[in-house]
Amino acid sequence: MTGDVFPAWIDRWRLTPDGAPFTSLGGRLLPVRRDGVAAMLKVSHAPEEIAGGVLMAWWDGQGAAPVLAHEGEALLMVRAMGTGSLADMARSGRDDEASRIICAALDGLHAPRPGRLPSSLNPLPDWFRALGPAANGHGGVLAKSHAMSKRLLADPREVCVLHGDAHHGNFLDFGELGWLAIDPKGLIGDRGYDYANLLCNPDLATAVAPGRIARQVQVVAQAGDLEPARILQWLLAYAGLSASWFLSDGDNPAGALQIAEIAAAELGL
C-alpha cells in the first residue's frame, strides 16, 4: 500500500513506487522512480513543510537536493543513494570533516541568487518568539540566551536565506552530486544562525564531550568564514531557543540547557 496521500501524485507525475512509504516529522514519504531516476516523493499539509518545499525548489539543486517537481503540499526530489552518514562520521573520529561538509553545503544554500526571494520565508526574529516567555519564566541560562538573541537580532550581519535546521541528519550523501541539504525550515536572517545547530549534533553525548564545542567552533569558524565568538553567541541563543521549544512541548530541556551553559562559559558569561 502506498497510502492515501500518494496515488494522485503518482499518476500526475508518472511515478513508479520503489519502496515502502514511511513517516517523518516532516510528512509522508515514498521512494519512487521517474524515467529511471531514483526520487523521493514527500507530501505534507503542514505550512512549515510546504514553505520548505518552495525553498527547496528555489535553491534549484545548489547546496540542496535537486527538485524534479513541486506543487502545493507535494515535493518530488532526487533521492540520496549514497551510503555515507555525517552522524556516523562525527561519532567515529571524523567530526571535523563532517562539520566542514555541512559548512560547504551551507555555502551553496547561502549564495545570492537572481530574482525574487520566496514569499514564504520566516524572519529570524519571529522564529525566536518562544524564547522571551521561557526566559521570563525560568531565568538562569535562558535569560542569558534571551539577552544574547536580542543583541544578535538587533544587529544582523550577512542577511541571507537560511536552512534553519542545519544538522548532520539533514545533509545526505547524493553520490556524485556530493552532500546536499533536505528539510529546510525556510528562514531569512543573519548567516551565523545556520551554524549553531550543527554544534548541538549529531547527538547530545557527542555535542557535550569535553572540549568538543570549543574545537568545532574553531573548525566551523574557519570553514564558514565566521568569527568564533559570533558562532558561540549564536549557539547560546539557539540552545536557549531549543530549550524553550522543549519546555513548550512538555519535554525535558536539560540537554539544550547544558549546551547553552557551555556556550555561556566559553563566552565568559
Q: Are residues 108 and 69 in the same domain?
A: no
Task: Give mean pLDDT, residues 139-150.
Answer: 98
Q: Are residues 150 and 61 in the same domain?
A: no
Count of domains in the chain? 2
Residue 179 in domain: yes
Q: Are residues 186 and 249 in the same domain?
A: yes
120 pLDDT higher than 80 = yes
Q: Which helix (H) or strand (E) holds 188?
A: strand 187-190
Q: Are residues 68 and 91 in the same domain?
A: no
Residue 101 in domain: yes
Q: Are residues 139 and 263 in the same domain?
A: yes
Query: How high is the pLDDT of residue 115?
Result: 83
The CATH number assigned to the domain holding 68 equals 3.30.200
pTM summary value: 0.94
Task: Give mean pLDDT, residues 171-185.
Answer: 96
Name the residue range of residue 130's domain: 86-267
Residue 90 in domain: yes
Q: Are residues 138 and 29 in the same domain?
A: no
Residue 1 in domain: no
Catalytic residue chosen out of the listed positions 95, 107, 165, 194: 165
**Sorting pLDDT into bands at 50, 70 and 90, what band is 1?**
very low
- Does the annotation count 165 as an active-site position? yes
**Degrees to nearest 5, angle at CA 170 with 69 and 154:** 100
Task: Tell me the average pLDDT of the chain.
Answer: 95
Query: DSSP class of residue 193?
Result: G
Residue 77 φ/ψ region, left for φ over 0, alpha for ψ in the -120 to 50 degree band, beta for the rest: beta
Q: Which of 48, 78, 108 is the last residue of a domain?
A: 78
Question: What is the per-residue pLDDT across 196-239, written as a single tens digit (0 to 9) for each?
Answer: 999 999 999 999 999 999 999 999 999 999 999 999 999 999 99
Query: How far is 51 from 237, CA to CA, in rounded Å?
Result: 24
71 pLDDT higher than 80 = yes
8 A C-beta contact, residue 109 and residue 193: no
Better pLDDT: 255 or 5: 255
Which three cell numbers mark 87?
A: 552522524
40 pLDDT higher than 80 = yes
Task: Give mean pLDDT, residues 165-175.
Answer: 97
Q: Are residues 56 and 161 in the same domain?
A: no
Query: How high is the pLDDT of residue 3?
Result: 54
Query: How high is the pLDDT of residue 27?
Result: 84
Residue 145 in domain: yes
Residue 2 in domain: no
Query: How far is 203 from 155, CA to CA, in rounded Å?
Result: 30
The CATH number assigned to the domain holding 232 equals 3.90.1200.10
First to last CA, the chain: 55
Q: Are residues 143 and 177 in the same domain?
A: yes
In one letter, which amino acid is 170? N
Q: Are residues 253 and 200 in the same domain?
A: yes
Q: Are residues 73 and 97 in the same domain?
A: no
Q: Which of 58, 78, 98 is the last residue of a domain?
A: 78
Residue 165 in domain: yes
Residue 111 in domain: yes
In one letter, which amino acid is 13? W
Phi and psi for 200 in degrees, rounded to 5?
-90, 0
Query: How far is 73 from 26, CA to CA, in rounded Å?
Result: 11
**Sorting pLDDT into bands at 50, 70 and 90, what band is 24?**
confident
Q: Are residues 29 and 115 in the same domain?
A: no
